[in-house]
Amino acid sequence: MNKQAQANTLHCDLLVVGSGAGGLATAVTAARLGLKVVVAEKEAEFGGTTAWSGGWLWVPRNPLAIAAGIDEDPALPRQYLRSELGEDFNPALADAYLSHAPRMVDFFQRHSLLRFIDGNQIPDFHGHSAGAATGGRSVCAAPFDGRQLGAHIHQLKKPLDVISLWGMGIASGVELRHFLNASRSLTSFAYVTRRVLGYWRDCLLHGRGMRLVNGNALAAALAASALQAGVELRLSSPLRQLLREQGKVNGAVLDTPDGPLTVHCSRGVVLACGGFPHDVARKRQLLDHAPTGQEHWSAAPASNTGDGLRLGEAVGGVMGKVASPMALAPVSLAPRADGSNAHFPHLIERAKPGLIAVTANGQRFCNEADSYHDFVSALLRATPAGQQPQAWLVADHRFVRRYGLGAVKPAPVPLGRWLRNGYLQRAHTLQELARRCGIDPAALAQQVARFNQQAEAGQDSDFAKGDTPYNRVQGDKDNAWPNPCMAPLQHGPFYAVKIVPGSLGSFAGLATNASAQVLDAQQQPITGLYAVGNDMHSMMGGHYPSGGITLGPAMTFGYLAAHHAAGRQPDTTL
C-alpha cells in the first residue's frame, strides 16, 4: 500500500457515525469492552440533538428510583407500554428495553463520568392509561463541569440560543423555578444572581459557561468518558458511503477536511446520525401536513438530514412503520439578528395558568397542558383539509411577565425586541389582538370569557386541563386559582405568539432487532450494521407515552449494540 493510500485509510473495531447520546453511549460502552472505537461527526461540533435537549431518560425501575424505595412491579411499565402503543407494541424490543435500561444506567454510573439525578416526581404523560406511574421512571444527567473536557469543551455544541438565557443553560426542576421566581423571592433572586455571575465569570475565563446542565451535560459527560476511554473523535466528517463485503458491512467512507477517508472496521458500523427532521424529500413523503416537505419546522439541528437512513437503505435496510413519523412539538419561528429564524419548541409554558391556544376561528382545540406531541396531534386534527396548520398562544400581561411566552423571557428581561420584530403581538384588548393575528375577534372574546369562568371554578369542562398528574406537575402549584393549570386572562395588555407544527426529532427509522442490528426486507440482520437513536425505528412505534422515550432507548440500545459488536452478553459484571 502506498503512503497516500495509507494516509487516507483508518482501521478500527467499531465506527460510530454521530455524536449524540446514542452514538456516544455506544462508543463509551464499546471502548470499555475493549474495542478500538472511532466516532465520526458530520458537524464541526459534537453533541447532536442531545446537546439541545432536556437530558431526560425514561427508565422504569432505574437504580435511583430503587434506592429511593420506588420498587414497582416490573409488569406495570410493560402494561403501560402495551396500553399506549397498541398494535405498534413490539414485545422483543420492549422486553429488551425494560430489562436492560436500568442496567445501562448502572453501567454508566460505574464506568463513566456521567452521573444521573432522579426524576422521581415526574409522571407519565397519560395518567389514565393502564400501568401509568406518577413518578419513579425518569432520570436526568446531573450537572457536569465542562472543564473535564479540557480543550474539547470548545467543540461541544452550546445550548440552543433561544431557549437558554444569554447562552446559559437552566436546569429543569428546582433551578427553573428559581429563575421564574427571581422577581418575587429574595431566595430565588440570590440563587439566580449567583448563577448568572458564575456564568459570566466562566465566559470571561473560558469563553463559555462551564456548569453544564440538561442535555448539554449529558453530551459532555459522555464525550469526556469516550475520550478518557481512548475513543477517537473526528469532527466535520460526514458519512458518504457504507462498505460491504460478502454480505457484511465492514467499513465506510467519510468526507473529512483532508479529503475522503476510508475506515475499515472489523466489528461494523453504528448509525447514529439523528434521523431525518430536516430531510425535505423524506418529510414530503411521510408528512401529510408538509406537502412540499417545507411545512414542518423541527427544533433539531439542521444537519440532521437523514444521511444514516439513506445509506442504511442503500445496503438493504428498511424503514419501520410508525403511528407518527415525528416526535411532534409546537414551534414558533423566532427571528434572529442575522435574518434567520430559530425554531423555538414550546415545551413548558403551555401548562402554566393563564394561557390558551386557539386557531383562526378563535376556539380552543385541545388541552394546552398535555404533552407537546399530543398538542400538535390535536392541532393537525383540528385543521381543515387544505389549510395550513397554525395556532396562537394567547395570554395576558401577568402571564407573560411571570412565565414568559416562547422565546420571550419573563421579567425583568425586556420584551421590546420581540414586539419590534413581530414575533410577539400585543394589544390592549382581545378584539384588537385578534385582528392583529387574523383571529375571529368576537369568537376569541367569547372563548376567553368562557375559559375565565372555568378557571375561576377550577374545572375545564371542554378539554380537562389540569386533570392528570402530568398536567398538574407542569402547572404552578402556587397558582391563586383552584386549578394549577388555569387562571383567568383578565389583565391587559394581551399577547399572542403564533405556533406551527414542528418536532424534536424523527420516530421513523431503520428496523432493528433487540441488539440494534439493522434488519433487511426479510427481517434478517445485516451483519456489521447497527442503528441507534433516531436512526433506529422507534421502539415506541411513533407514540409518545412519556418524557425521555427518545434518549432512554438511544442510550440503552447503544449499550446493547456495543455488547453485541464486542461479542459480550449485556450485564453489569465489567
Domain of 54, CATH number, reads 3.50.50.60
pLDDT digit string (tens) for 316-358?
999 999 999 999 999 999 999 898 999 999 999 999 999 999 9
Domain of 403, CATH number, reads 3.90.700.10
pLDDT for residue 332 = 97
Instruction: Give me the mean pLDDT over the 112-141 stretch.
Output: 97
Q: 2: pLDDT confidence band, cut at 50, 70 and 90?
A: very low
Percent of the chain with pLDDT over 90: 90
Asked if residue 332 and residue 224 are part of one domain, the reply reads no
Task: Supply the DSSP string of 423-483, one letter for each residue.
Answer: SSEEESSHHHHHHHHT--HHHHHHHHHHHHHHHHHT--TTT-TT-SHHHHHHS-TT-SSSS
- Does residue 221 have a pLDDT over 50? yes
Asked if residue 223 and residue 332 are part of one domain, the reply reads no
> Rounded to 5 degrees, what angle do the CA atoms 282, 288, 290 make?
65
Whether 29 maps to a domain, the answer reads no
Examine the fold and report which residue of 204, 229, 254 is the final residue of a domain before the chain moves on.
Answer: 229
Query: CB count, 10 Å around CB of 448?
Result: 24
Between CA 119 and CA 547 the distance in angstroms is 11
Instruction: Give me the mean pLDDT over the 507-521 stretch.
Output: 98
Whether the bond between 123 and the residue before it is cis, its omega within 30 degrees of 0, is no
Asked if residue 58 and residue 202 are part of one domain, the reply reads yes
- Does residue 6 have a pLDDT over 60? no
The closest of 526, 460, 469 to 487, measured between CA atoms, is: 460
Number of domains in the chain: 2
pLDDT digit string (tens) for 152-185?
999 999 998 888 888 888 888 888 888 888 888 8
Whether 118 maps to a domain, the answer reads yes
pLDDT digit string (tens) for 225-241?
999 999 999 999 999 99
Examine the fold and report which residue of 442, 473, 503 is the final residue of a domain before the chain moves on.
Answer: 503
Q: Are 130 and 77 in contact (CB under 8 A)?
A: no
pLDDT digit string (tens) for 23-41?
999 999 999 999 999 999 9
pLDDT for residue 7 = 60
- Does residue 248 have a pLDDT over 80? yes
Whether 249 maps to a domain, the answer reads no
CA dihedral (464, 402, 122, 164) positive or negative: positive
State phi, psi for 395 to the nearest 5 degrees.
-150, 170
- Does residue 3 have a pLDDT over 60? no
- Does residue 384 have a pLDDT over 70? yes
Examine the fold and report which residue of 229, 247, 270 is the final residue of a domain before the chain moves on.
Answer: 229
pLDDT for residue 177 = 87
Between CA 79 and CA 93 the distance in angstroms is 14
- Does residue 419 have a pLDDT over 90? yes
In degrees to the nearest 10, what's the CA dihedral of 508, 512, 515, 516? -50
Whether 112 maps to a domain, the answer reads yes
pLDDT for residue 574 = 66
Residue with grid cell 401529510, as numbered in its chain = 288
Whether 472 maps to a domain, the answer reads yes
CB within 8 Å of 1: residues ≥ 6 apart? 9
The closest of 358, 372, 357, 388 to 295, measured between CA atoms, is: 388
- Does residue 572 have a pLDDT over 80? no
Distances (CA, A) of 444 to 283, 371, 387, 431: 33, 24, 20, 7
The closest of 135, 140, 142, 141 to 60, measured between CA atoms, is: 135
pLDDT digit string (tens) for 485-503?
999 999 899 999 999 999 9
**Over the chain, what is the mean pLDDT?**
95
Please tell me whether residue 231 adopts helix, strand or coil conformation: coil
Instruction: Give me the mean pLDDT over the 5-19 stretch.
Output: 88
Asked if residue 63 and residue 184 are part of one domain, the reply reads yes
Query: CB count, 10 Å around CB of 247?
Result: 13
pLDDT for residue 386 = 87
- Does residue 547 have a pLDDT over 60? yes
- Does residue 4 have a pLDDT over 50? no
pLDDT for residue 132 = 98
Q: Are 23 and 531 in contact (CB under 8 A)?
A: no
pLDDT for residue 146 = 96
Asked if residue 333 and residue 223 are part of one domain, the reply reads no
In terms of residue numbers, what domain contains 148? 39-229
Query: CB count, 10 Å around CB of 555?
Result: 32
Residue 209 in grid coordinates: 459557561
pLDDT for residue 181 = 86
State phi, psi for 28 to the nearest 5 degrees.
-60, -45
Whether 358 maps to a domain, the answer reads yes
Asked if residue 184 and residue 61 are part of one domain, the reply reads yes
According to DSSP, residue 269 is labeled E
pTM for this entry: 0.95
- Does residue 473 have a pLDDT over 70? yes
pLDDT digit string (tens) for 54-84?
999 999 999 999 999 999 999 999 999 999 9
CA dihedral (258, 261, 265, 268) positive or negative: positive
CB within 8 Å of 202: residues ≥ 6 apart? 208, 209, 210, 211
**β-bridge mates for residue 320, sequence order:** none
CB within 8 Å of 426: residues ≥ 6 apart? 419, 433, 493, 494, 495
Percent of the chain with pLDDT over 70: 98
pLDDT for residue 573 = 58
Residue with grid cell 403581538, as numbered in its chain = 425
Query: CB count, 10 Å around CB of 416?
Result: 8
**Helix ranges restricted to H, 328-440:** 372-382, 397-403, 416-420, 430-437
Between CA 373 and CA 177 the distance in angstroms is 24
